[in-house]
Amino acid sequence: MASTSALPIYEVADQIVDGLAAHGRVVLSAPTGSGKSTQVPQILIDRAGVEGEIVVLQPRRLAARLLAKRVAQERGGKLGEEVGYQIRFENVISSRTRIRFVTEAILLRQILEDPSLKGVGAVVFDEFHERHLTSDLSISCALQAVRSVRSDLKLVVMSATLDVERLETYLQPCARIEASGRMYSVEMRYMGAALNRDAAPVWERAAAAFRQQCRSTTETGDVLVFMPGAFEIRKTIDAIQGLSESKDYEVLPLHGELSPDAQDRAVSSGGRPKVIVSTNVAETSITIEGVRTVIDGGLARIARYDARRGINAILVEPISRASAEQRAGRAGRTGPGTCLRLWSEAEHVARAERDTPEVRRVDLSETLLMLAAADITQPENFAWFESPDAHALAKAGELLHDLGAIDAEGAITDLGRQMARFPLHPRYARMLIEADRLQVLETVALIAGLSQGRAIYRVARDKRVRQAQMDQIEDHADTRSDFFVHLQAWEFARSAKFNPSACAGLGIHGASARQAGEVARQLLSVAQRVGLGRAADSDDANRETLETRICQCLLAGFSDHLAKRNDRGTYRCRMVHGRSGELLRETVVETELFVAAEIEERDVRGDVTVLLGMATAVEFAWLNAIFPEDFSDKAVTTYDPQLRRVVCRSERRFRDLVLESTDRGEPDIDQAATLLATEVTEGRLLLKAWDSAVEQWIARLNFVAKHCPETEIAPIDTEARQLLTEQICHGALSYKEIKDRAVLATVKEWISPEQHYYIDTYAPATMELPRRRNPAKIRYEEDGRAFIASKLQDFYDVPGSSLKVANGKVTLLVELLAPNQRPAHLTDDLDGFWGGAYHHVRKELAGRYPKHEWR
Ligand code: ADP
Ligand code: MG
């Protein structure tokens, strides 16, 4: 083993010790390979004299294990003694452990259970630039501990990037330390467009790049290939091993699902040159010595909220430019290197500059449930390192409430506590708990597996395949859930050993079916770990059928997607939370009430319409049994747009969705008038007699009200319009009764007879002009201006002072019209106009209209 004391981190070791002594908190940025992960925990013990346990947070299980092993080795001990690790389902620690590498969820659970972190001397947040939601939360909780009961707790935050300003501000006061690494130059090569339709799969392009590199140079060193996951890694290894150029190389995978031995093999040095095909664990978490060539597939699996399924899904996506930069750097650790990017330069520019932190892209309900379990019930007041979007937070809270995990105040329920023990999305936790109670755990776990990956079954377009689907699958499936069709398809796939072509003959995606089975197995083992699954699925004749119980579990998990058809036979429906939706035609479900496991929201002109897929029948009685507290009964009087009349009904609601409504006779007459009036004032119904004459009169009244307060006339504003409309509508129940009612007379009753005098004199409808045969109209506008328009010649001999209204307070704006009735000029000073602008106006108009009189 080379001497670790030569690592760059030791150039700043004193600064780390001093920083901790001065502030107790350190932000450390240093390039990958400089010794952060392996050396800093040792520096804390050996040099900074930190007492108690050093907990080192690692975003990845694989890294936690490998680092612990390496540090134990460096310190000459056995893994699990002084140095250990703890990851999901694996504890390699003892009472003597001083350095404990943990994954993020482990620390978060520990800190939520014991906010004072008893026995811990320092927490090291490694790889903080990855910005997983759990490490964001952990750092908030740890800082909270330091500020309340643990002022002696040391915090070290480490990152491979220099982008740490926000952190420094957040942790103030703290020491900021930067170590520079030794980096050689890396030559960058772009291998051509990856997003072309005819681009080969990424593993084939990786193999081609490898061959090209071998042919162009003999100095490849070790080669590191980045692929998004285990599947692509296997494919890449097959493709590379199929090349003659690879015969001198050992080709090895590196990812979290390998055995510990296989993981060790990939990172150990010596022997033949290697090609390591790795996930992004080798991006910054794990350093592999001797790499001179990086082949970057440019993809990673990332967690993102999938609105269609209402869960967080793991998707393969292009990495950001910042990630690509880190990956390229792996080629320049021990000498100048080369990075082959399996995409084009144009595509590179189009990539995101950096990754969006998880807190801004995933569904927060699992996190909120964890916080609620630790009695943090007001997430909006939590000291987030970076606050989530308020809307996302509210939605997550709403879902937890719908699932019965928290009450109206946000406090966790007993059921919620049980759900919080599952390291799963609360939707699935809820479903599995219900499934256990009803003894259908195995089938429901498979359904959960089916709904997490891509669909295994699609209605085929091809006629022959479609017929086969009907004969062999759909005719045998219970019609109470679309999942029963998928289960039938899955059974077929399993009996065909997931053979792709046998499956394809029935429109089944074999690989996805196999994967769904694997996910189901994992879910079952999770359920067993938290104490479920002691009884096998049973079809006890005395109880409800198996299918009924399965449907009930789906209701428990998807009650926030409950829908009721508008009529029997239609696909249109109303949903909880005020949405309307449309069920996909290929459903087998025929009941009026159902839940949809997949929803796709479309915003059509401000109205959210939802497409509903993977439906499951629901019976009214089940709702009562599972969610007794979510019902309410109400007598309501409303305007029914279909009947075009006001009706009085008593409604039974599940949350806000009306499930039953019965007529209760004649509505209250005043209430009916108000409801009809609202329809009118909001423009959904039209009164025929509410015409421009009415509006003109209102404009005159408002003009007087504005300029002549001494008249004590109240303006007709929105509220007054509503009141007046109510008067007009009074006594009616339907639109038919009101649509021809008189309007003007009622509107005029707004003011007293004496006040009418003011309207006529202060805001006259017309004004006499000496040269006109009939008087000119005056136009009053809402902004308080009044206009008089007439032919220019009509204003000859009219003294400007006579053009006043509002008891002489407002001068009319004069619109002088050309002979063609178009405005030629606008003025509020007629006398001034004749001596000024008139000369220009006349010159122009007299030329065009010589026969008219021009003075
Ligand atoms: P950083 O966290 O800054 O990226 P590390 O502490 O992980 O750095 O690694 C420092 C150095 O220790 C690496 O450059 C590498 O040489 C060596 N190293 C770390 N882990 C191993 C290992 N499992 N096997 C061999 N060498 C290792
Ligand atoms: Mg590291």
Which DSSP string do the residues of 607-671 spell out, in sequence order? EEEEEEEEEEE--HHHHHHH-GGGEEEEEEEEEETTTTEEEEEEEEEETTEEEEEEE-SSPPHHH
Confidence band (pLDDT; 50, 70, 90) for 88? Answer: confident
Give the span between the Cα atoms of 212 and 121, in whole angstroms.
52
Residue 7 Cβ < 6 Å to ligand 1: yes
Residue 97 Cβ < 6 Å to ligand 1: no
What percent of the chain clears pLDDT 90, i.e. is strictly above it?
Answer: 75
Residues in the chain: 855
Largest CA-CA distance found in the chain, in angstroms, rounded: 114
**Cβ of 557: how many Cβ atoms within 10 Å?**
28
- 454 has pLDDT over 90: no
Give the span between the Cα atoms of 836 and 832, in whole angstroms.
6
Residue 412 per-residue DSSP state: B
pLDDT tens-digit series, residues 539-551: 665 567 899 999 9
For residue 31, give the ligand 1 atom closest to its CA.
3
Give the pLDDT score at 529.
Answer: 86
Q: Are 516 and 448 in contact (CB under 8 A)?
A: no
pLDDT tens-digit series, residues 735-747: 999 999 999 999 9
Confidence band (pLDDT; 50, 70, 90) for 162? Answer: low
Confidence band (pLDDT; 50, 70, 90) for 465? Answer: very high
Q: Which residue has the higher pLDDT, 175 or 305?
A: 175
- 308 has pLDDT over 80: no
Give the pLDDT score at 727.
Answer: 96
For residue 69, give the ligand 1 atom closest to its CA.
23
CA 277 to ligand 1 centroid distance, Å: 18
Which ligand has the minimum distance to the alpha carbon of residue 34? 1
Confidence band (pLDDT; 50, 70, 90) for 604? Answer: low
Transcribe 764-803 into DSSP letters.
-SEE--TT-SSPEEEEE-TTS-EEEEEEGGGGTT--GGG-
For residue 269, give the ligand 1 atom closest to its CA.
25
Which ligand has the minimum distance to the alpha carbon of residue 59? 2
Confidence band (pLDDT; 50, 70, 90) for 777? Answer: very high
Q: Are 576 and 606 in contact (CB under 8 A)?
A: no
Residue 35 Cβ < 6 Å to ligand 1: yes
Q: Are 43 and 172 in contact (CB under 8 A)?
A: no
Give the pLDDT score at 602.
Answer: 75
Residue 176 Cβ < 6 Å to ligand 1: no
Residue 34 Cβ < 6 Å to ligand 1: yes
Give the pLDDT score at 378.
Answer: 86
- 9 has pLDDT over 70: yes
Q: Is the peptide bond before 173 cis (omega within 30 degrees of 0)?
A: yes
Q: Tell me what the mean pLDDT of segment 376-392 comes to.
A: 89
Q: If DSSP codes are grouped into helix, strand and coil, which group holds residue 465?
A: helix
Beta-carbon contacts of 203 under 8 Å, excluding residues fewer than 6 positions away, are 227, 232, 235, 236, 238, 239, 297
Give the span between the Cα atoms of 474 and 480, in whole angstroms.
12
pLDDT tens-digit series, residues 247-286: 999 999 999 888 889 999 898 877 889 999 999 999 999 8
Give the pLDDT score at 2.
Answer: 56
- Closest Cα to atom 22 of ligand 1: 70
378: exposed, middle or buried (Cβ count in 10 Å: 0-12, 13-18, 19+): exposed
Confidence band (pLDDT; 50, 70, 90) for 825? Answer: very high
Give the span between the Cα atoms of 508 and 499, in whole angstroms.
10
Give the pLDDT score at 606.
Answer: 67
pLDDT tens-digit series, residues 215-244: 998 887 899 999 999 989 999 999 999 999
Q: Which of 290, 301, 298 lies closest to 252 in space, CA to CA? A: 290
Q: Are 828 and 725 in contact (CB under 8 A)?
A: no
Give the pLDDT score at 491.
Answer: 96
Q: Tell me what the mean pLDDT of segment 716-734 comes to.
A: 96
- 322 has pLDDT over 70: yes
What percent of the chain clears pLDDT 70, i.e. is strictly above it?
Answer: 98
- 1 has pLDDT over 60: no
Start-to-end CA span in the chain (Å)? 109
SS in 3 state form for 421-434? CCCCCHHHHHHHHH
**Mean predicted lDDT score pLDDT of the chain:** 92
Q: Which of 618, 628, 572, 570 lies closest to 595 in space, CA to CA? A: 618
- 480 has pLDDT over 70: yes
Residue 38 Cβ < 6 Å to ligand 1: yes
For residue 9, give the ligand 1 atom closest to its CA.
3
Residue 205 Cβ < 6 Å to ligand 1: no
Confidence band (pLDDT; 50, 70, 90) for 520? Answer: very high
Q: Tell me what the mean pLDDT of segment 488-504 comes to.
A: 94
Q: Which residue has the higher pLDDT, 603 or 482?
A: 482
Determine phi and psi for 118, rounding to 5 degrees: -55, 135
User: What b-and-e string marks burial along 494-522, b requiring 16 or more CB atoms within 10 Å of the CB?
Assistant: eebebeeeebebbbbbbebbbbbbebbee
Determine phi and psi for 48, rounding to 5 degrees: -90, -5
CA 284 to ligand 2 centroid distance, Å: 6
CA 285 to ligand 1 centroid distance, Å: 9
30: left (phi > 0), else alpha (psi -120 to 50), else beta?
A: beta
Give the pLDDT score at 541.
Answer: 54
Tokens describing residue 380: 């909006």
Which element (helix H / strand E) includes 372?
Answer: helix 365-373
Name which of 179-188, 289-298, 396-405, 536-545 the model is least confident about.
Answer: 536-545
- Closest Cα to atom 12 of ligand 1: 35
CA 54 to ligand 1 centroid distance, Å: 18
Which ligand has the minimum distance to the alpha carbon of residue 36? 1
Q: Which of 45, 152, 176 lies closest to 100 in space, CA to CA? A: 45
Q: Tell me what the mean pLDDT of segment 515-523 comes to.
A: 91
Give the pLDDT score at 213.
Answer: 94
pLDDT tens-digit series, residues 23-64: 999 999 999 989 999 999 999 999 999 999 999 999 999 999
Give the pLDDT score at 188.
Answer: 96
Q: Are 852 and 793 in contact (CB under 8 A)?
A: yes
Beta-carbon contacts of 200 under 8 Å, excluding residues fewer than 6 positions away, are 208
CA 127 to ligand 2 centroid distance, Å: 7
Residues within 5 A (CB) of ion ligand 2: 36-37
Q: Which of 132, 175, 131 lies closest to 154 in space, CA to CA? A: 175
- Pocket test of ligand 1: the residue of 1, 7, 38 to mutate, having most ligand atoms within 8 Å of its CB, is 38
**Cβ of 798: how many Cβ atoms within 10 Å?**
20
For residue 38, give the ligand 1 atom closest to its CA.
6
Q: Which of 828, 701, 695 lies closest to 763 in space, CA to CA? A: 701
Residue 287 Cβ < 6 Å to ligand 1: yes
Tokens describing residue 277: 């095909």
Residue 12 Cβ < 6 Å to ligand 1: no
Q: Are 16 and 156 in contact (CB under 8 A)?
A: yes
Which element (helix H / strand E) includes 600?
Answer: strand 593-604
pLDDT tens-digit series, residues 684-704: 999 999 999 999 999 999 999
Looking from the CA of 679 toward its CB, the CA atoms found within 13 Å total 23
Q: Which of 383-387, 408-412, 551-555 has the highest mean pLDDT?
A: 551-555
> CA-CA distances (angstroms) from residue 205 to 191, 202, 301, 328, 705?
9, 5, 19, 17, 78
